[in-house]
Structure 1
Amino acid sequence: MSNLKISCVIVDDEPMALNLVESYVDKTPFLVLKKKCSSAIEALEFLKTTPVDLLFLDIQMPDLSGIEFSKMLPKETRIIFTTAFDQYALEGFKVEALDYLLKPFDYAEFLAASNKANTWFELVKGKQHNDLPVEKEFLFVKSEYKQLRIKLADVLYFEGLKDYIKIWLKDNPKPILTLMSLKSLQEELPETQFMRVHRSFIVALKNIEVVERSQIVINNQRITIADQYKSKFLDFINSNSLNI
């Protein structure tokens, strides 16, 4: 079962309609009511400081109609129109409303429209999740005519030697030697986990034990931080330091 919560605002100039929709929202587990407003003007002011996912929006209201108001909303805010007049249905769909509830509507109709919104937000949430960059967990490197699977979590640091790289791993006294440039390797590594600190070294940030003067200590190995990499490395240190 989804744990998705949809924040919403009810906008209607009729007090009875406001209260009815509020009672429906209260019965619906995935809806969270943030405010009920008796005019589009009131809702507009509220939304300036408190964005929400969904509006239950009446269409025929004084000063500013629901249709006019809907055109002022950010595209992330979705709408379910509620109205007593079916002639607005076409306009409602033109502004990409998720649904259109014709008054008087019962809870079953309200729930069906709300479920449609729930499905829409779940799809969007899933797409956003899939669009996030996935951190690499391993690399395959060629060494002695074999392709070795290297877990990035086990890497202490990479040491460049002309056209070769030594890969130093936890619990492994001897490095793995592979034919590759440090520059090419750097392009393949996740920046959140590894940083180049010298012409010949890329270090695993989580395995740094000590930073002393201009040197990093990892597994008793001292690695000098070259001047051209100091600024970026100091930014990393400062962003992960306790300011006491």
Structure 2
Amino acid sequence: MSNSYLVMNKPEKTHPKCRCLIVDDEPLARDVIRRYCDKLPVLELVGECSNAIEAFMYLQSNEIHLIFLDIRMPELLGTELMQSLQNPPKVIFTTAYKEYAWDGYELDAVDYLLKPIRFDRFLKAINKALPGYENDLLNDESLEFERKSGVDSIYLRIDRRQVRIVLDDILYVEGAKDYIKIFTQDKMHLCRQTISSFENMVNKNEFVRIHRSFIVSINKIKSYTHELVEINKKELPIGKFYLNHFLKTLDSSIA
């Protein structure tokens, strides 16, 4: 996690808690956001709804400061819910579909989070939603938890579910248009996501892109030449455009 988010000396007086609501039809997606909210003392998660109609009714009788709102839901879209509210609270849209991003920004959303949501990206969105709250965001316990376990896995949308993938299990990733194939020692996961978006999710010291269609785990490389990388008896091509970056990354990982 970037040090720019961390403030070591907290002021004696903290801000009031921000009352939050999660609206998402996928239980696993709600689990991820709930877990992230639990790490931030300034957030008070007061409710969860599985669809926009349920959320509309909840908002009629409850004070909410911030909604984590999925866009694509059955019966009523998250964007349609926002348009139906006279005085909507702040909104951070969450969705697995990039094509909905513009609709979210047109409604003056605080931010737009593309699933699977990383914690550091979630934290940036909270910084936008709660300017001036930086000192209150993380306590020491949540910081230590994030250092130990926050970057060991990611959640990816696979077969209409948010599935946890342990990063250390990944051998390499192959891109094919709007899909990626994630290869582990004993399994292949097919995920609707671009290889570039996956590249942005992982640690550049642990994974390196060697071709427009391939990202490899540095620790899983058995051997390489200037033309190919061998991982688990599989030879993957190195693109000419990526060769220098690949070699520099390897040098940095060994140093």
> With structure 2 as the length reference, what TM-score do the two structures score?
0.46
Structure with greater contact order relative to length (CA < 8 Å, sep ≥ 6): 2
In the superposition, the TM-score normalised over structure 1's length comes to 0.48
